[in-house]
Structure 1
């Protein structure tokens, strides 16, 4: 019976010392492109370092790959802490006109869901009661649940408000889907306010009774928490 090798047992020649420098660099470029192309999510530096020489510059490899893609309808972009193949924006209308199924999931959001998601991105960590004050109307639990199911939201720390309700924060999946490397890449909030797309009319305070009633209902298991300061720092 043939024994299946584990991932740690699969060895490749990363250094390629038997190749001349030019061919070695080209092979590294192709390896990096192959990994990025095949991945369903942004590929980080550590992952790419597994397939190239230990002294190889990942940034220079990606830079050369991007030069190769000039004039092509797609590019390699830096997003959510890694690199990913993305179609150039100018070809968006062409792709939509074709009705071809795509890997993008951001397009499946309703206008209301997208607005709620962006509000959370700007004001996080934020409770559902605080979102209600931003929009001036109830934000349903179904809307929050749908955004969580899509992988765009996670539970944040409990609010210091009475009742200690859970807050919501965005995820790396949110950054990836919308093409942001970090939350610092979000559009300027004042421009969105001027355009009437986002409002900060609410005070940060939340009614005590409302918070207390939601504290237990909106909670999610602590294990769902998976964020870091760079990714989930509030930018407003």
Structure 2
């Protein structure tokens, strides 16, 4: 540990620290952890951890009243457009924001609140079979993953949410999820999706299930895969 790190005094980067952090967050395009920010500097110039924290706090204060905000999420810190401005910023792209079905939102909510949970348990709660396209789309978004297998015959996969799920929904941990009583309408948990679009769920369903499964709840449940 250098003398600068021990004393917490500003390192050689001096007054540029906040600018460096701001530039790094803009260039990264994804959250950066405290450790990743510290790794930007050589041993001789690396500021104390407290200095990085202070620079982040000041950067957050600087963003007050601006169109972007500094947000702390599960993976670290990121600069992002304020949610209140998404309606206008979204017009920069010609493609319409992807809208997901109620079935997908219900599935994601069940996994988030009751994880780890199996496909069969999701079907039991919802009262209908769960289409493979829903699980696949959530996995492609990297919002859910297999976290284990239930110790019962067939060893069904257990699903849980990911760090990417927390990051996307501006959460630091699952403790920040709203209570189920606070969710009045499932549509309220769906922000505008500004990532690369994937085929709509209905299109995936028709490709996977055929005419028989495309009608909805009459589709036969598929077996769990170990």
Q: Please, what TM-score do these two structures have when normalized by structure 2?
A: 0.70
Question: How far apart are the structure 1 equivalents of 2:38 and 2:99?
Answer: 35
Contact 2:68/2:79 (<8 A) preserved: yes
Cα distance, 1:77 vs structure 2: 0.3
Q: Which runs of 5+ in 1 are unaligned?
A: 1-14, 16-20, 199-209, 220-236
Contact 2:11/2:47 (<8 A) preserved: no
Contact 1:29/1:62 (<8 A) preserved: yes
The residue number in structure 1 matching 2:137 is 146
Cα distance, 1:88 vs structure 2: 1.1
Match of residue 83, structure 1, among 77, 82, 85: 77
What is the alpha-carbon root mean square deviation over aligned residues?
2.8
Cα distance, 1:29 vs structure 2: 0.7
Question: How far apart are the structure 2 equivalents of 1:134 and 1:74?
Answer: 40
The residue number in structure 2 matching 1:223 is none
Contact 2:11/2:48 (<8 A) preserved: no
Alignment of 1:90-129 (within 5 A): 90-96=84-90, 98-100=91-93, 108-112=98-102, 113-129=104-120
Match of residue 29, structure 1, among 18, 31, 40: 18
The residue number in structure 2 matching 1:74 is 68
**Would you say how many aligned residue pairs link Structure 1 and Structure 2?**
180
The residue number in structure 1 matching 2:32 is 43
1:132 has 2:123 as partner: yes
The residue number in structure 1 matching 2:217 is none
Q: Which runs of 5+ in 2 are unaligned?
A: 5-9, 188-219
